[in-house]
Amino acid sequence: MLTVDLDRLDIGPGMRLLDLGCGEGRHAHGACFGHDVFCVGLDLDRNSLVTARKGLGEIAKANTAIARRLSVLQGHGQWLPFRDDAFDVVICSEVLEHIHDYVPVLREIVRVLKPNGRLAFSVPRAWPERICWRLSPGYRNSPGGHVRIFDASALEAEVERQGLHCVRRHGAHALHAPFWWLKCAFWNRREDHWLVRAYHRFLVWEMTARPRLVRMLEACANPVMGKSVVLCFQKEARR
């Protein structure tokens, strides 16, 4: 389940891609399978990286060529262990809302991104996120959880102050917003409440069966109620 639409990032063969805050590696894995790129997934959470490395091992069994183009490592977004202008594309999906001081992360991303390189952020859309916060104190107070609600336009302006310009914005996962509202409404029983389990089964069916009508309805709803907002930027070329 990819939040960032990789096909909108003009990814070409041989490019280097950084998945910052890669978690269990979904965007990193997706980039290597769908594009002939060299990809690095970086995350601070060790347990997520263990899962990402297991996924890499499974990829190696199926396709050693793809596995050689993908690596994962532990690191912090405020001190990226890469040289300047190291990557053609950077993805930072569902990460910034977890960070108290996120501007240094933006600066590091700009540093490692090549001139004319592409950057994609995704953050939770503000109004569905506010509903989650109001429905459940447990949701907003979970360890390692969300520390802020982003206004997408304000985030866009902050990134542009770092020397990038926004080229595209799109929503994602409209069907997931009601799922999280249900989880928050029944927070103490969110894993076993029948409504939560029923909606989860629906989401799994939608992602595996990919019914055209349901996907069309979600595409229509994404600009308004997509659980995530994706902002795509391009770094200005040096003069």
Residue 32, pLDDT > 90, answer: no
The residue ranges of every structural domain in the chain are 6-125+139-173+226-235
199's CB contacts (< 8 A; 6+ apart) are 178, 179, 182
Q: Could you tell me what percent of the chain has a pLDDT over 90?
A: 75
Predicted pLDDT at 239: 64
Predicted pLDDT at 185: 96
d(CA 22, CA 42): 6
Pick the range with the lowest mean pLDDT from 11-15, 26-30, 32-36, 213-217.
32-36
Residue 125, pLDDT > 90, answer: yes
pTM of the model: 0.92
Task: Find where tokens 């263990």 sit.
Answer: 50
Pick the range with the lowest mean pLDDT from 44-53, 106-115, 193-202.
44-53
d(CA 152, CA 142): 23
Instruction: Check residue 188 and report its DSSP letter.
Output: G
- Confidence bin at 71 (pLDDT 50/70/90): confident
d(CA 148, CA 145): 9
Residue 73, pLDDT > 70, answer: yes
Q: Measuring CA to CA, which residue among 17, 25, 38 is closest to residue 87?
A: 17
- Give tens-digit pLDDT for 197-226: 999 999 999 999 999 999 999 999 999 999
Instruction: Check residue 238 and report its DSSP letter.
Output: P
Residue 66, pLDDT > 80, answer: no
Please, are residues 232 and 152 in contact by the beta-carbon 8 Å criterion?
A: no
d(CA 127, CA 162): 26
Predicted pLDDT at 184: 97
d(CA 117, CA 9): 9
137's CB contacts (< 8 A; 6+ apart) are none
DSSP 87-101: EEEEEEES-GGG-SS
State the average pLDDT over residues 111-128: 96
- Confidence bin at 36 (pLDDT 50/70/90): confident
- Give tens-digit pLDDT for 149-192: 999 999 999 999 999 999 999 999 999 999 999 999 999 999 99
- Give tens-digit pLDDT for 133-143: 999 999 988 88
Residue 63, pLDDT > 80, answer: no
67 φ, ψ to 5°? -60, -35
The architecture of the domain spanning 6-125+139-173+226-235 is 3-Layer(aba) Sandwich (3.40)
Q: Measuring CA to CA, which residue among 84, 104, 62 is closest to residue 235?
A: 84
> Whole-number mean pLDDT of the chain?
92
3-state secondary structure of 183: helix
